[in-house]
Amino acid sequence: MKKYLPPIAVIAAAFLWSLDGLLRQQLFSVSSFLIITLEHTLGTILFLPFLIKGWKNIKKLDQRGWGSIMWISICGGILGTFFYTKALSYINYIDLSVVVLLQKFQPIFAIILAAVILKEKLSNRFLLLAVTALIGGYLVTFGNKPMADWDDKTMIASLLALLAAFSWGSSTVLGKHALNKLPFQLVTSLRLTITALLAGIVLIGMGNSSEIVSLNSSQWIVLSTIVISTGAVALFIYYYGLNHLPASHTTIYELFWPFSAICFDWFIRGRTMSPTQAAGAIILLIAIVLLTQERQNSHG
């Protein structure tokens, strides 16, 4: 059972992230950088014991290790979240399914970077399953809707989604590199801390820090809920899984995010999947199951 825990951990994190969009939409009136700063600050406080305990290891971190930590803090923590949150602001004009487009292209960035940076070997069977999963994910999101039918709001949201895809896809690979240097608990804590500090500096520079006092109790509750579920805690679970998996495999398991997001859209908003989307969901799930077996075969 233990060998299945890492894939389950990544899928569980992806499931939590699919709830994240529903929570963040309740903060539509709050600036993106304020959300990023506060959620990472609260996460930093939550995981502060790991940072204190691992301080000796942090002091031994080399230049490349710090480079990886800074990359995942800036791209994964700030830029990815910023682009994703901005894309969600178009949710009244487009379907949520278009916003989760980012999960279809994230694996492409991650797989290429994993092969180039981490020298991960990709079998032909893995590449075939990866392409199959991407096709399934695309069908889940768009169904039969051709690109010619997209309006300007859809195009903007899609561009923001692609930028988030690159930010998070590259962070998966650099996160794997960081995990070769530090324990996953420490990587989680360090990333949250650095992201909170950098986002805080940007927030102060933009002159938006005074917005904190205008937050009401319900917004604070939503922020706290994000931290202990879809934010810092989901990140902690995710890094546990990534610590035991190749980056190229991890990013495929993350495709469970768009699948579950579509399901929530169905249950909560009553938007049912078309036959094409349902077929895509089946293809996606089969590809994820086969990829899990592929990992076990390749790693004994």
The candidate with the shortest Cα–Cα distance to 164, out of 67, 116, 114, 99, is 99
User: Of 69-83, 120-134, 138-152, which gets the smallest average pLDDT?
Assistant: 138-152
Domain tally, the chain: 1
Q: Which residues contact 172 (CB under 8 A, 6 or more apart)?
A: 106, 110, 114, 242, 247, 250, 251, 254
Distances from the Cα of 176 to the Cαs of 17, 44, 256, 258, 266, in angstroms? 19, 20, 20, 22, 34
pLDDT digits (tens, 9 = 90+) for 40-76: 999 999 999 999 999 999 999 999 999 999 999 999 9
Query: Is the overall model pTM greater than 0.95, yes or no?
Result: no
Give pLDDT tens digits for 207-257.
877 888 889 999 999 999 999 998 999 999 999 999 998 887 887 888 787
CB atoms within 10 A of CB 146: 7
Average pLDDT, the chain: 84
Percentage of the chain beyond pLDDT 70 is 89
Domain with 23, as residue range(s), is: 2-299
pLDDT digit string (tens) for 149-198?
767 777 787 788 889 888 988 998 899 889 999 999 999 999 999 999 99
Residue with tokens 């990544």: 10
Tokens of 214: 């205008």
| Banded model confidence at residue 98, pLDDT cuts 50, 70, 90 | low
Q: Nearest-CA neighbor of 71 among 183, 168, 1, 193?
A: 168
300 has pLDDT over 50: no
Is 144 a residue whose pLDDT tops 60? yes
